[in-house]
Amino acid sequence: MANDLDPRLTAAQRFGKELARVRKEAGMTQIRLGKHLGCSSSLIAHLEKGDRTPKPDLAAGCDEVFGTGDRFKRLCRNITSPTGPDWYIGWTEEIEPYARMLRSWDPLQIPGILQTEAYARAVFRGGLFVSEQDIQDKIDARMRRRGILQRDKSPTLLVLLDEWVLRRPIGGAKVMGDQLDYLLTAGELPNVTIQIVPYDTTCTTGLMSAFTIAELSDAPTTVSVDSATKAEVSADHKLVSLIWDIYDKLRTEALRPGPSLQMIEEARNQWKQQT
């Protein structure tokens, strides 16, 4: 997995950095890799610099040579058919699917990985200057993310939600009722724990932004911190430590999982009474 998570990298540069990293770890020269892939070492060098676009068959060849599953094929698809800004693609394609544990906090909305299609549509329609096709592309990408919770080796997901997230009428009563139904179902999964931070907590530490902490088996712990316009994805030790401290403080204020699910159920019932 690529350790260079600089959100300024283009998708082609991200492919190149990952190719160079995997090739070097395998003890393979550019010349030898070129022979395996039926191309010149010069092309390999250009790909690793990120100034040439890989073809799908070459990406598939890389996965075959290095035994990397579909990693390079996915990175290649991000170049030709991106589903979001580079930082988002880097997180959803290179970090989130490979995490062994995800810890998230959201003071404003249901986290994307647990959203229903209708809820996600309402979120994206509430944005600025987004076409219907853009909205559908974003929804499709968000729905694909939910699949990692159903895999054989799915990550442990620890979710902290502000209580007002349950009350905020995103999409209306029916959308909220169905969304909280889904949240209750997810909360029963053995790898998912949802805790509610009550609205009257005195802790204000996490009110400025949502974030997710990803613990990985073969790379440094990485965080994604949301802002109004973008997210910062970083493995910087100081930032990770700060975000972890905020998470720990918020969790001390949270209800236990059982009472949290009960609060979600009560909010769900209130929404459904309005439909």
Q: What's the pLDDT score for residue 100?
A: 92
Pure H helices in 7-128? 11-25, 30-37, 41-49, 56-66, 71-80, 86-89, 117-125
* Helix 56-66 / helix 30-37 crossing angle, nearest 10 deg: 110
Q: What's the pLDDT score for residue 142?
A: 85
Q: Which two tokens stand for residue 149?
A: 């919770």
Q: Tell me which residue of 195, 197, 247 sits closest to 221, measured CA to CA.
A: 247
Q: What's the pLDDT score for residue 203?
A: 73
Q: Tell me which residue of 185, 186, 188, 210 sits closest to 197, measured CA to CA.
A: 210
| Backbone phi, psi, residue 203, to 5° | -80, 120
Q: Which two tokens stand for residue 86?
A: 């580079």
Q: What's the pLDDT score for residue 86?
A: 55
Q: Which residues pair with 224 in a beta bridge?
A: 212, 233
Q: What's the pLDDT score for residue 5?
A: 43
Model confidence pLDDT, tens digit, residues 95-129 = 888 889 999 999 999 999 999 999 999 999 887 65
Q: What's the pLDDT score for residue 61?
A: 95
Q: What's the pLDDT score for residue 217?
A: 81
Q: Answer whether 122's CB lies under 8 Å from 109's CB.
A: no
Q: What's the pLDDT score for residue 176?
A: 98
**Number of Cα atoms under 13 Å in the Cβ half of residue 48:** 18
Q: What are the residue ranges in the chain where pLDDT is below 50? A: 1-5, 7, 82-83
Distance between CA atoms of 11 and 146, rounded to whole angstroms? Answer: 23
Q: What's the pLDDT score for residue 92?
A: 72
Distance between CA atoms of 118 and 254, rounded to whole angstroms? Answer: 27
Q: Tell me which residue of 74, 15, 70 sits closest to 46, measured CA to CA.
A: 15
